Amino acid sequence: MLAVVSVLLALFAVSSAQQQLQQPNFTHHAVLDPNGKFRLNWSPATNGSGYFTFECVVATRGWIGLGFSTNGAMAAADMVIAWVDASGRPQISDRHGPAQGNGFPPADSKQDYELVSGRKNNTHTVITFRRKQDTCDPQDWKITSDTTRLIWAYNDQVPASANDIAKHTERGVKSVQLVNPQTKDGMATILADPSTVTFDFRLTSVTLPTDKRTLYWCEIMELPKWNKHHIIAV
């Protein structure tokens, strides 16, 4: 009886250690597309010279691409393309958008994205990789606490090599905060706290122009006369 118990304990210890290796606890999560087919988990670096670890979970058995840019365009964006090849080996390629417009993203002369793990099943590909917050490569994006436009793409075709990647069939853009902490239980918990006060800032009669992608609007507003409060969420 005693022998059986200790064997079970040993097996349990091995499998949970493996799980921790394969699945770091990601602190940040985002769904990049409207249909929940491109999910991203990541953990920011603990300091400016540390590594960000990203995990892409995508409903494809082909290649997946993730890019970082200021404006959501491919031009001059930092990109990484990864896939699980025909023999089951994960592959990763550090690339960048063309200097202008859209087109095939050339490989960086310095490869700064490191593969952690990659696998796929009948429906999904899961690729985990890491990169430094600042790789010091002008062909890469320096991650900052500013809003980052993540560009995502995939294609169900498995590339034969990094020089033979078919054009994406699905693509999109999502704005995220890569560095700032995300609240675990979301706004619901914060709002449920009776000591939380909320205030809506409403712009007065702004007509959105139809000929601009982005509009910046400045308006000065007076806060209600509260006692001292801390702003905890925006």
Site residues (vs ligand NAG, CB under 6 A): 25, 45-47, 49-51, 57, 121, 123-124, 126
- The least distance separating ligand NAG from the CB of residue 129, rounded to whole angstroms, comes to 15
- The least distance separating ligand NAG from the CB of residue 49, rounded to whole angstroms, comes to 5
- The least distance separating ligand NAG from the CB of residue 85, rounded to whole angstroms, comes to 18
| Distance (Å, whole) CA 36 – CA 56 | 12
Nearer to ligand NAG by Cβ, of 97 and 170: the residue is: 170
The residues facing 128 across adjacent strands are 55, 117
- The least distance separating ligand NAG from the CB of residue 131, rounded to whole angstroms, comes to 12
Nearer to ligand NAG by Cβ, of 35 and 46: the residue is: 46
- The least distance separating ligand NAG from the CB of residue 24, rounded to whole angstroms, comes to 7
Nearer to ligand NAG by Cβ, of 93 and 125: the residue is: 125
Nearer to ligand NAG by Cβ, of 50 and 98: the residue is: 50
Residues 6+ apart with CB under 8 A from 213: none
Nearer to ligand NAG by Cβ, of 85 and 134: the residue is: 134
